Structure 1
Amino acid sequence: MPYETKRIKLQKAKDLLPRIREAIYQPVSSLKVTAWVTKEPVPYAERTSGELVELTPGAKWGNLWDCAWFRFEGIVPEAVSGKKAVMLIDVNGELCLVDKEGSPMQGLTNINSEFDFSLGLPGKRVVDLGYEAAGQQIDLWADAGCNDLFGRYRSGTLKEADIAICYEEIRQLYYDYEVLIELAEHTPENGARRERLIQSLYDAAHKLQVINEETAQQAREILAKELAKKGGDPVVTVSAIGHAHIDLAWLWPIRETIRKGARTFSTVLTNMEKYPDYVFGASQPQLYQWMKEYYPKLYDRIKERIQEGRWEVQGAMWVEPDTNISGGEALVRQILYGKRFFQQEFGQEMKVLWLPDVFGYAASLPQLLRKSGVDYMMTQKLSWNVYNTHPHHSFEWEGIDGSKVLAHLPPEDTYNSPGAPRSLAKIENSYLDRNVSEHALMLFGIGDGGGGPGEEHLERLSREHNLLGLPPVVQESSLSFFHKLEEERARFQTYRGELYLEKHQGTLTSQARNKWYNRKMEKSLRELEFAASLLLAMGENAYPSEELEGIWKETLLYQFHDILPGSSITRVFEESLERYAAMHGRTRELIAQTYARVAELAGAREGQAVVFNSLPWEREEVVEHKGSRYAVKVPAMGFASLAEAELRQEQTEQSGLRAGEQLLENKNLRIRFGQDGSIESLYDKAAGREAIMPGHKANVLTVYHDRGDAWDFPRDYRETVAGLMKLEESSFSVEQGQAVLEQHYRFGESTLVQRIVLDEEATTVRFESKADWKESEKMLRVSFPVQVMSDHVNCEIQFGYLKRPTTRNTMIEFVRDEICAHQYIDLSQPDYGVALLSDSKYGYSAERNVLDINLLRSPSYPDPVADRAEHQFVYAVYPHRGDFIQAEVYRKGYELNTPLTVAEPSRASSAAGRTASFASLVQVNHPHVMIEAVKKAEDSDDLIIRLYEVSGTFAETSVGFGIPVSLVEEVDLMENTIGEAGAKLSFQPFEIKSLRVKL
């Protein structure tokens, strides 16, 4: 049958392909191999400081994460004279060849990818010596890591180290054959083009009964006719750019990422010398900064290619961060530091946000991008959706404020394209917006663990440029692609709101200690910048700009999308937690020192404390200082002396504060507890309403089986309850103006101590929790069934909030069961609502009237001891009259996360300066305008004040200053002047505004 004949012919060609590949290289002599092994990397100057090992193929040199300096020695035999000579080197790990000065020259990896076998398993093992190498002395050094691209151990033995002949005609034949076989497989079944391709491959196979350069040339002459056939007018043109997505940590530690960068980038430079059409791009200024610091000569070579235009610096952020958990101001700093680095180092203005691999995209991002001069966004991760297909590859993405950016998802749904005919065929056939667009993007190369494009990618593309049967492909920068896409923009659809990824919801909770530190660092950095700005306003230029930038950048590094989400190996978190503790300690130390100096300049006497409030509303609270309690009133963004505060004595039951008989009570709330420790009633005395659904229990600590990994937990986890945390003991007390219930829980080997605290004047109840978690593959959640009904829950995100459905009417609603929120999640009716507040949790669920927080989970991959540790966290419940806007729930969230700070002058006051003239640095008079940041400008001693509208409404506010100012200008997020600011500021819903204040 004709069909059978075509199948047999094509299969014969496919069977021949491995034989052709095996015939490309002929080893002719072995290299002498010596290695000096160390546990951690050592510089080139110390390359012989490790344990000396002499190696032959099959000999072991290291264990996982070991490092070594290899030396390869030999003489190229005269037998290769007139032929192309190469070295074949495979150490069963990652290797970087260096020059005589120790600068990276080429990366070699033993295997490409185990995550996608279609990308091809053979790694980079070939080192070209050229056609004039006969008699050449080989003395080559290389820096090795005993791990593959994905951090796996592959025996730690030397596999090969040979000098070989490369039969170039056979090598070229291999790629001719490979491309045409794939083209035939992706050409219409009964078309003439497919018939001719299969026949040509079959005819060529007859010439290859013996494979040598002569028969290879004969076969290539047959295939050349098919490779020469050009396409017609294209439906879609593919813009291809080389890429090597490098996770800054994942299945390897950060120290290995630095070396991955050197290996990957040196390989890129080597291939650019061989392939003149090759265009490559790489993102993440942090990675470039490491190259500049560790490999300056390599960095200079990279800069030359950037200047030439063949190397594109990509992305507008310091790293490719998680955008669900990272705070709003942190995302601003990602852009600020990222764009400034590329501008200062390379003179490049970044216009594209490059986030191929993060786990969902916050709905506030479009505004941050537009106000930073970023017009475009590229990602592909939404292709990982499980239940619902994202409707577009090219679209306008609209944020919560109405800002739009042009977004593109490469239709191949990968950043690891093999650049093969199947890639181009998939792009043409799968492009969801091909009805209105003629342009699509392809990212080719090996990524995640780095490596980047190899010769196979570039050889394929050289044959596919304009090949009949495939869409044309051109290598060019992603920015050039977006400029073409911009011309079609008017025809694209708009997608509004968050880009929710239907996977990886577990990352909102995994590695809880990292998330706790992240929140503390974000809030502490905000506090330090405010404190230092007070000093600046007082005329003392002691702003710690350099140290602050360093701490910020390291905090941003740990927001990378496999660190902050909790999806890396154990070592990554051991190291990040150690650094977090040091950074947090140093930041708190700087805050204390700075406030002490402000107190001194404010005229406080020695021993006389001052209370500081960095939030933009007046706060009346009770603070403790040296064992005494004071009722203070502190102005917005300012300070007040404790000398003027009311000294509070111990309260009695006459104050309404009670604890005992399964009850906590103050004048606002009355909470009744069951014998199992759960809340049976939360009565809002001021509103005259019960907040908990009658007949239900709240603050129920439920443990679920969780056999997922760091990324995902089972969607049906509610069906697999492992049990409840069991109350073992409890005690009630009234202490220092607080009604307290302390409860001790146990589940298995794990314990949880919870202090449920009701302050004397409070309208919220806090749950101060300490857990010693020892469970494996378990998840701890706490739920609150509230007496409020609403179809939507209100979730704080960066610079605003989202309304998400509490119903499960559609597959989209069902999939979005686990949702991200920052300082609060709230369920409100028009007349009443209940909010959950948190100091460090991000994973929530809201179904019908049940609010639920994901507190802890302990998966076993990739960190087998994830979160089996001691934890601390605080959450709170805030029942309120009116909806969440009227109740100003956002303020409760900020207050929980930003306590008042008490400081004493370091010595008696010795200076006045501007001190007596203000106690409040800046004030706004609209309750829905938040001041998110006060900082020194990047390039002057002016102050930058960042404000935003929190409620999703129009707002107009005046901005007042407690100090003389000469000029107030509006600036964008890059601190470029937009225009002079008037006496009043008008805000669109969720609008961010930044002011430059000249003192």
Structure 2
Amino acid sequence: MPYFYNKNIERSLDWVLKKIQKSIYKVVDELKITAWVTPEPVPFEQRMTGIKKELSIGDKWGNLWDCAWFHFTGVVPESAAGSNVVLLIDISGEACIVDSNGCPIQGLTPAASTFDYSLGFPGKKVVPLFKNAQGGEVIDIWADAGCNDLFGVLKDDGVIKEAYIAVCNETMRELYYDFEVLYELMQHIPQDKARYHSIAWALMEACKVLRNFTEEEAKEARAILAPELSKEGGHPSLTISAIGHAHIDLAWLWPIRETIRKGARTFSTVLALMERYPDYVFGASQPQLYQWMKEYYPSLYQKIKEHVFKGRWEPQGGMWVEADTNITGGESLIRQILYGKRFFKKEFDYDVKTLWLPDSFGYTASLPQIMKKCGIEYFMTIKLSWNEYNKYPHHTFLWEGIDGSSVLVHMPPEGTYNSSAAPRAIIKAEKEYLDKGVSDRCLMLFGIGDGGGGPGEEHLERLKREKNLDGLVPVVQEPAIKFFQRLEKNKNKYQTWVGELYLEKHQGTYTSQARNKRYNRKMELELRELEWACVLSFLISGYPYPQNELERIWKEVLLYQFHDILPGSSIKRVYDESLARYEILMNEVKELKQKAYLSWINTLDVGEMVCPVAVINSLSWERDEWISVEGQWLKVKVPPMGYTVVDASIHQRQVCGLIAGDNLLENDKLRIKFAADGSIESIFDKEYNREVLSTGSFANKLAVYDDKGDAWDFPIFYDQIPCEFFTLQSASFYIDGPKAVANQVYRYGASTIEQKVVLTLGSRRVDFITKVDWHESNKMLRTSFPVNIHTNEATCDIQFGNIKRPVHRNTSWEMAKYEICAHKWVDLSQKDYGVALLNDCKYGYKVLDNVIDLNLLRSATYPDSEADRGVHEFTYALYPHPGDHVEGGVAREGYELNIPLNVIPLDACKNGAMPREKTFMEVEARNIIIETVKKAEDSDDIIIRLYENSGAGTKTKIKFYFTFKSVCLVNMMEEEIEMLNMEKNGVELYFRPYEIHTLKVSTK
């Protein structure tokens, strides 16, 4: 009789596997349930302060985001004596079992509403209780619960589904994983292979003995399968390094407060499973999450520390949070790593060497240098596997940034951080790994992520059977750092990717939740000013530097740079809360800055001035600008990184050369003509005798596009559908001191725009000071400027430099970049002339041919149905200039738009010790920018961070006009590299193109 295999085998095996699973647990009694429900979490000590509810299975206990302390009680039946007794609990919400002191010991999770079930089943409901029950044991369990699933959804209307005492048939449980692993392995082996037939035969033989699914039958079935599980592979060409993982978004479809509890649920489950599985190694990133555990769950945190020191738990990733790297500013990226690495070093004596950003939405080309100069060598991400049109050609490669710095990158080839660790996952990893010819290792991150939860017993049971199972490449559980160190041995074989790691997805996040993005930009710059003000005050008057306050504020700002907060992809509550906190932080920073300045400002010599005013410049070049003091316009010249004192009572000469009226603005540089609809039909450069706009085009038409996307995405073809425009309601023209102004009011639907187009005497910049009251849904507001420039590439401002991007769509790679991210400006230039579009809080651009298009607002309806409705204020500016962006000084203009001069009135008739004008430091080379001045983290030395911004190798002198004793070149962690030779007033330093240098200046 022939052996005959067909699809009926799989149908039979499916049925048997499900039957085995159902036979693992036998319910023997119900638990008594009491809950105290509250709208927000309360600590263990206050667990009985909510609304008390006596509940049964089938009862609804809460609505979305409700919280409760559940008390489960019962008695183990005598019939369960000698058995392995567990609890089965599913309250349609997340919960955390605690011990008698309130320390988390295990998390519980319902099946998630939107989880990709091809990756496995995310639910956790089994609570181990008595391995060998005596019968009669009292059950008294407390659990802290939230009425939401992993993804912030009200699951099954908040109804209690299970609360049982059950007996676990351990042999049947083991059989389940034996059967599952072999069955899935068989499904991925060609049917003409002997291994397929031997597994199929063993599984069918095991099925034959499973008639009543008793423990005796399970033992017999396991014995049949054991030989197949014991078969090992040969000498491997590839080995998978596996580490447990739980990607926990610090906010997303849930508020930040729920993340804190997700951390406790996840981490307590990890620790519980480590007791059962000696091979289990787990890793977690984000010091912010650890800090919350330390603050809210100190006993749990101590257990985590113990397992870190044992080598079972790996602190991963140097950043304070898994931050967005498109929108986050350059100094913020450094502070992410500075505070992140310092936390891990202080708490665990662990020097992190990896950057762990599995889910951020693309990676700036500035990052490799920042990593290297922070002592980070390796980078891990998953997200690039999400590309829409093009596949990145490598999973293991070297990534080179704009300055030439290079780091080692690995993208787990399975393309997920939620690996099931099942045979299908191992087979996919081997199949997809693009670099398996030159690398003998790849990484697997197994567990339940996004909403947390981490690995379950199913992951670890599978891995126990897959260490070296014939038919699969071997799998080793180990820390990621060991994997990267092994990977590095073949470093000279890997290919190099140069420039940004652009994600062909989620381009809508450059614009979504505009108020948060504006606050982030303003907070970054205000913190820069505050640190400069405090150093200045320390140098002048010995004013105490507010180190603790600054660190606290910085860390909260870094939290809001998490990759689902700053990009705009979280629920409404996240933004309601973060905007309220931003306002408080901004006021605090401004108050601290004012105190710092006032500590020395009245020591200035003002002589006979009637209305003295101090004007402070924190930028590293001289500024010649107009300021307004109590309605009086003054032209001031302020030295770099210093101040000047002027008398506001001195009458300024009459301002001439301005025109405002009859749809015309004009100064000594430019002439602007407006069309009847309010758009601009001409910008004529009087100085260079040329038209700025392309022939026949109109600029600043406020266009409204249909936007059927969500917070993350909008269609690539959005601009192929006819748009509508805001309609001009009124326009007035006037002169205000040195400014010619067109005040325009527009309307579209329920929304209005008031825009002041401003041309300032002596300036080549056209400012569009804009206030929008926006009440549209699924719409996108954009402005565009078709300019009289022919070039093949745009220069885009990014952190600590700029990159060039093509303005054509020759290839699919270029087509996919239909929306790009830039910071303070984007420039189109020929050799002789160029035009830049600047902004003070926007990031999303489209640059195609000769048109610079800026994304101003989006109003998606998911996950926040009210996203960006309301009032917005922002400024963008057109800046025509001679030459390219370097000759035209575009970078400086971008800084000046974003960082105004500080103007502080002084007391009259003071003859102080400080001179009326002073600079504290300056750089001779125009292309070197001082970005940051702060106090060192561990001393009273001064940290100065500078970078080259034009792409040119540069030797220059940095001058200090204060008393100093030594200057040391340090890395970004402020660790000494070398002492510099001091010359008169400073030091000389060489910069590679786009290189960042950090100096530590000792004043004592």
Name the TM-score class by shorter chain. over 0.9
User: 1:62 aligns to what?
Assistant: 62
Q: Which amino acid aligns with 2:473?
A: P
User: 1:140 aligns to what?
Assistant: 141
User: 1:186 aligns to what?
Assistant: 188
Q: Give, in angstroms, the shift of residue 846 of structure 1.
A: 0.6
Secondary structure of the 1:694 match is: coil
Q: Which amino acid aligns with 1:966?
A: K
User: 1:873 aligns to what?
Assistant: 874
Q: Deviations over 1:28-64 (max 9, x none)?
A: 0111100000000011111111001011001111000
Q: Deviations over 1:474-503 (max 9, x none)?
A: 100000000100111110000000000000
User: 1:503 aligns to what?
Assistant: 505
Write the distance in 1 (CA, Å) between the matches of 2:975 and 2:876.
Answer: 39
User: 2:73 aligns to what?
Assistant: 73
Is 1:399–2:401 an aligned residue pair? Answer: yes
User: 2:84 aligns to what?
Assistant: 84
Write the distance in 1 (CA, Å) between the matches of 2:266 and 2:916.
Answer: 58
Is 1:493–2:492 an aligned residue pair? Answer: no
Q: Deviations over 1:950-980 (max 9, x none)?
A: 0011111101111011001110000001101
Residue pair 1:113, 1:119 contacting (<8 A) in 2 also: no
Is 1:618–2:622 an aligned residue pair? Answer: yes
Is 1:458–2:460 an aligned residue pair? Answer: yes
Secondary structure of the 1:361 match is: coil
Q: Which amino acid aligns with 1:512?
A: A
Secondary structure of the 2:390 match is: coil
Residue pair 1:280, 1:312 contacting (<8 A) in 2 also: yes
Write the distance in 1 (CA, Å) between the matches of 2:606 and 2:449.
Answer: 58
Instruction: Give the gaps of 5 or more residues in structure 1.
Output: none
1:717-736 correspondence runs (5 A): 717-736=718-737
Secondary structure of the 2:709 match is: coil
1:53-452 correspondence runs (5 A): 53-112=53-112, 114-121=114-121, 123-133=123-133, 134-154=135-155, 155-452=157-454
Secondary structure of the 1:640 match is: strand
User: 1:15 aligns to what?
Assistant: 15
User: 1:930 aligns to what?
Assistant: 929
TM-score, normalised relative to structure 1: 0.98
Q: Deviations over 1:887-922 (max 9, x none)?
A: 11000000000000111358986974xx44971111
User: 2:33 aligns to what?
Assistant: 33
Q: Which amino acid aligns with 1:576?
A: S
Residue pair 1:629, 1:649 contacting (<8 A) in 2 also: no
Q: Deviations over 1:595-628 (max 9, x none)?
A: 2223123345896320000000000111111221
CA-based RMSD? 1.5
User: 1:861 aligns to what?
Assistant: 862
Residue pair 2:632, 2:648 contacting (<8 A) in 1 also: no
Write the distance in 2 (CA, Å) between the matches of 1:888 and 1:844.
Answer: 21
Residue pair 2:252, 2:571 contacting (<8 A) in 1 also: yes
Q: Give, in angstroms, the shift of residue 643 of structure 1.
A: 2.7
Q: Deviations over 1:97-124 (max 9, x none)?
A: 1111111111000115623111333511
Write the distance in 1 (CA, Å) between the matches of 2:973 and 2:165.
Answer: 53
Secondary structure of the 1:442 match is: strand
Write the distance in 2 (CA, Å) between the matches of 1:122 and 1:890.
Answer: 49
Q: Which amino acid aligns with 2:60?
A: K
From 625, 633, 636, the counterpart of 1:632: 636
Q: Deviations over 1:272-293 (max 9, x none)?
A: 0011110000000000000000
User: 1:827 aligns to what?
Assistant: 828
Residue pair 2:644, 2:916 contacting (<8 A) in 1 also: no
Write the distance in 1 (CA, Å) between the matches of 2:95 and 2:516.
Answer: 32
User: 2:592 aligns to what?
Assistant: 590
Q: Deviations over 1:109-164 (max 9, x none)?
A: 01156231113335110111133332211111110000001000011111111110
Secondary structure of the 1:255 match is: helix
Write the distance in 1 (CA, Å) between the matches of 2:364 and 2:113.
Answer: 30
**Counterparts in 2 of 1:923 and 1:574: CA distance versus 1, 3 Å:** same
Secondary structure of the 2:158 match is: coil
User: 1:791 aligns to what?
Assistant: 792
Q: Deviations over 1:258-303 (max 9, x none)?
A: 0000000000000000111100000000000000000001000000
Q: Give, in angstroms, the shift of residue 188 of structure 1.
A: 2.4
Q: Give, in angstroms, the shift of residue 592 of structure 1.
A: 2.1
Aligned length: 994
Q: Deviations over 1:179-211 (max 9, x none)?
A: 011100111231000111111111111111211
Write the distance in 2 (CA, Å) between the matches of 1:223 and 1:911.
Answer: 91
Secondary structure of the 2:561 match is: coil
**Counterparts in 2 of 1:842 and 1:3: CA distance versus 1, 3 Å:** farther
Write the distance in 2 (CA, Å) between the matches of 1:602 and 1:378.
Answer: 53
Secondary structure of the 1:124 match is: coil
Write the distance in 2 (CA, Å) between the matches of 1:771 and 1:533.
Answer: 38
Q: Deviations over 1:737-780 (max 9, x none)?
A: 21000111111111111000111121101000000110000001
User: 1:940 aligns to what?
Assistant: 939
Secondary structure of the 1:110 match is: coil
Residue pair 2:113, 2:153 contacting (<8 A) in 1 also: no
**Counterparts in 2 of 1:351 and 1:160: CA distance versus 1, 3 Å:** same
Q: Which amino acid aligns with 1:700?
A: K
Secondary structure of the 1:636 match is: coil
Q: Which amino acid aligns with 1:794?
A: T
Q: Give, in angstroms, the shift of residue 15 of structure 1.
A: 2.0
Write the distance in 1 (CA, Å) between the matches of 2:1002 and 2:144.
Answer: 52
Q: Deviations over 1:630-675 (max 9, x none)?
A: 1111000000002399643553xxx111100110000001000000
Write the distance in 2 (CA, Å) between the matches of 1:922 and 1:143.
Answer: 56
1:378-777 correspondence runs (5 A): 378-604=380-606, 608-643=612-647, 647-648=651-652, 651=655, 655-777=656-778
Q: Which amino acid aligns with 1:708?
A: G
Write the distance in 1 (CA, Å) between the matches of 2:718 and 2:942.
Answer: 49
Secondary structure of the 1:111 match is: coil
Residue pair 1:630, 1:645 contacting (<8 A) in 2 also: no
Q: Which amino acid aligns with 1:998?
A: S
Write the distance in 2 (CA, Å) between the matches of 1:270 and 1:78.
Answer: 27
**Counterparts in 2 of 1:82 and 1:722: CA distance versus 1, 3 Å:** same
Secondary structure of the 2:434 match is: coil
Write the distance in 1 (CA, Å) between the matches of 2:564 and 2:993.
Answer: 33
Write the distance in 2 (CA, Å) between the matches of 1:459 and 1:696.
Answer: 66
**Counterparts in 2 of 1:646 and 1:522: CA distance versus 1, 3 Å:** farther
**Counterparts in 2 of 1:641 and 1:918: CA distance versus 1, 3 Å:** closer
Secondary structure of the 1:567 match is: coil
**Counterparts in 2 of 1:373 and 1:674: CA distance versus 1, 3 Å:** same
Residue pair 2:611, 2:649 contacting (<8 A) in 1 also: no
Q: State the identity %.
A: 56
Residue pair 1:704, 1:779 contacting (<8 A) in 2 also: yes
Is 1:50–2:54 an aligned residue pair? Answer: no
**Counterparts in 2 of 1:664 and 1:496: CA distance versus 1, 3 Å:** same
Write the distance in 1 (CA, Å) between the matches of 2:698 and 2:485.
Answer: 57
User: 2:984 aligns to what?
Assistant: none
Q: Which amino acid aligns with 2:285?
A: S
Q: Give, in angstroms, the shift of residue 397 of structure 1.
A: 0.3
**Counterparts in 2 of 1:399 and 1:493: CA distance versus 1, 3 Å:** same
Residue pair 1:504, 1:711 contacting (<8 A) in 2 also: yes
Question: Which piece of structure 1 moves more, 588-597 or 715-724?
Answer: 588-597
Q: Deviations over 1:829-885 (max 9, x none)?
A: 000000000000000011000000000010110001111111011000000111111
User: 1:959 aligns to what?
Assistant: 958
